[in-house]
Amino acid sequence: MNSLEPDPGAGPVESSGQSNFVRDIIIEDINAGKHEGRVQTRFPPEPNGYLHIGHAKAIYIDFELAAEFGGKCNLRFDDTNPSKEETQYVDSIMEDIRWLGYEWDGLFYASDYFGQLYEWAVQLTKAGKAYVCDLSADEIRAYRGTLTEPGRESPYRNRSIEENLDLFERMKNGEFPDGSRTLRAKIDMASPNLNMRDPVMYRILHMEHHRTGDQWCIYPMYDYAHGQSDSIEKVTHSICTLEFEDHRPLYNWFIENLGIFPSRQIEFNRLNLTYTLLSKRRLLTLVREGHVKGWDDPRMPTLSGLRRRGYTPEAIRNLCANAGVSKTNNIMQLSLLEYFLREDLNKCAPRVMAVLRPLRVVIDNYPDDTVEEVEAVNNPEDERCGTRRVPFSKVLYIEQDDFREDPPRKYYRLAPGREVRLRYGYFITCKDFVKDADGRVVELHCTYDPATRGGNAPDGRKVKSTIHWVSAAHAVDCEVLLYDNLFTKENPNEVEEGQDFTANLNPNSLEILRGCKVEPGLQTAAVGALYQFERMGYFCVDRDSTPEKLVFNRTIGLRDTWARIEQRDKR
RNA sequence: GGGCCAGUAGCUCAGAUGUAUAGAGCGCCCGCCUUUGAAGCGGGAGGCCGCAGGUUGAAGCCCUGCCUGGCCCGCCA
């Protein structure tokens, strides 16, 4: 991405590359000389949960836009509600942002500004623009009115400035119990925008804060804290999601009435994905009710879950780059994320052979005690990755699905009398098969053609397919976890009356395969390492894997044209 | 019922200040290639530009009305 440095002497900055309306606003501002051409954004998570792929879009926009225009992007934790926030979330959020590939300029907390925010609240009170209200939460709601009816003014709205000042100070000093009083902005109880009907600025909460401890017993509300925090940091473009559109008038009201640096809030549409839930609350339900194994379960759309599953930051960033920054509601197809994942993994994942559902093959005419080593390419997409040697012997395992007793039309793999190529090995022909008492094929007897070593026939004869294999005596056993969508519906929230989203959980989202066979080189694979199991998909070593008990997660399967042909023929 | 926002291919988005056959990526279909039925390469089919009026020589872009969808009545963010 080219960087467009603000340079007043170089003429107007022009839009290049893919544009979006936020970027256009920034370019306009630079060209108009606003803030001397300076651009500054921020990513403002609340440390009350784990980041998910929806947050990745915001991170991408905030950091990339700042970088493109030579500006700064701060990380600021929006920690104004001690009842929900914890240090562990702060740590995981920082880890996830870095993993995605971004580094913040300044690290701040809204709680850094509690002192300043308090002074400003006093200032607004002195100006007659804020008052202490003794109404209870229920009463405030009742007085607020409804969408169609104006609210009524609080009976405490017209207290004297002196009394307000005194009461507010005593709120701060802890003289009143939780919920007994609030500080409210005096705006307009008849405003069609509910946010403007004398919003609460401060509430009383005798609760330990993860950073300020017991220093405060009154805490600012989001609306009173966010804009001013932006302003203090001199954020020029405060980019947030659409649900805050209604809050913008209030955001501006505080800044204007305080006469402070005018940060500008701009709202964009959030990211949504098919078959995926992106709501912290619902994700928390999945964890609490045990539908998944934790926040980093590989089926979760959290960044930690995606990371454990084997997703790459590059794939996620590409999805974000492709997600439009606009104001339309959207649901992106999960398959698009998968496309970017495969695109990235195809370039970087070493190839390896692994048999997930083993079928024993005996090569009858191969010498009993011979072990050969055949040379295999590590990554056809990248010559620098070189080659490796893989042991070959008389008894092998192949994939159960690569043999059919009675092959359907267009099935190219092994069947009685058929010849196929063992990748990097030999051509083999199926001569016989053995069934167990249940009628399942448990062993194949084949012959090989010694002239085809390495996989080429000197007589130029062709085979219709190449299959993967592993030498039985040398293979390493492992467990493989196969994942599917967590939900069966594109929109998991679409349910029948009386049900909730858990009704759409996919009962088959996890399949555990034991006794899988991988080539010996994988014995020492490092946790997190990514591989392509040839013809099967991309897999990564799970966090819980050890050399004694290898565990792989299937990150994503390969595109499978055959499966689709078969599906279609069934219909 | 009130306010705010949005409505261009199956999906996500582009379409300066109105001007000729409305573009892209992904998906889909068809070929080619292939020691991964992967990857790669080539081609193709998809669009009452939400609807209806109006302004104009000319409208996806401007105006009006309507329809549809999203958000808003936490001392959450």
Which of the 118-147 residues on chain A come under 7 Å of nucleic strand B at their beta carbon?
Answer: 135-137, 140-141, 144-147
Is A293 a catalytic site residue? no
Give the nearest nucleotide to A147, CA to C1': B2
Look at residue A13 in the predicted model and tell me its pLDDT.
56
Look at residue A192 in the predicted model and tell me its pLDDT.
94
Which residue among the candidates A157, A234, A270, A453 is catalytic per the annotation? Answer: A270
Is A280 a catalytic site residue? yes
Tokens of A224: 């009173």
Look at residue A7 in the predicted model and tell me its pLDDT.
37
Look at residue A162 in the predicted model and tell me its pLDDT.
98
Amino acid, res. A198: D
- Provide the CATH topology of domain A8-268: Rossmann fold (3.40.50)
Look at residue A277 in the predicted model and tell me its pLDDT.
95
Amino acid, res. A3: S
ipTM of this predicted complex? 0.95
Task: Report the DSSP pairing between strands A476-483 and A469-471.
Answer: unpaired
Look at residue A140 in the predicted model and tell me its pLDDT.
98
Residues of chain A with pLDDT under 50: 1-11, 15-16
Look at residue A214 in the predicted model and tell me its pLDDT.
97
Sheet of strand A469-471: strand arrangement: A466-467, A419-422, A427-435, A441-448, A358-363, A395-399, A469-471
Which residue among the candidates A34, A38, A157, A280 is catalytic per the annotation? Answer: A280
Does at least one atom of strand B sit less than 7 Å from the CB of A156? Answer: no
Rounded to 10°, the helix A53-68/A87-100 angle is 60
A133 with A182: CB under 8 angstroms? yes
Other CB atoms within 10 A of residue A211 CB? 18
A488: phi then psi, degrees, rounded to nearest 5: -90, -15
- Taking the C-alpha atoms of residue A399 and residue A406, their distance in angstroms, rounded to an integer, is 16
Task: Report the DSSP pairing between strands A182-185 and A200-204.
Answer: antiparallel
Amino acid, res. A199: P
Look at residue A1 in the predicted model and tell me its pLDDT.
30
Does at least one atom of strand B sit less than 7 Å from the CB of A343? Answer: yes
Tokens of A537: 């998909």
Does at least one atom of strand B sit less than 7 Å from the CB of A2? Answer: no
Buried b / exposed e along A383-408 (16+ C-beta atoms within 10 A): eeeeebebbbbbebbbbeebbeeeee
Does at least one atom of strand B sit less than 7 Å from the CB of A413? Answer: yes
CATH number for region A351-475: 2.40.240.10
- Each domain of chain A, given as residue ranges in start order, spans 8-268, 280-348, 351-475
- Provide the CATH topology of domain A280-348: Glutamyl-tRNA Synthetase; domain 2 (1.10.1160)
Give A362's strand partners.
Answer: A395, A445
Look at residue A547 in the predicted model and tell me its pLDDT.
93
Mark residue A436 as left, alpha or beta (left: phi above 0; alpha: psi -120 to 50; beta: remaining): beta
- Taking the C-alpha atoms of residue A303 and residue A98, their distance in angstroms, rounded to an integer, is 11
- Taking the C-alpha atoms of residue A454 and residue A421, their distance in angstroms, rounded to an integer, is 9
Query: What does each C-alpha distance from A299 to A113, A293, A331, A349, A355 come to in angstroms?
Result: 38, 9, 19, 21, 23
Look at residue A270 in the predicted model and tell me its pLDDT.
96
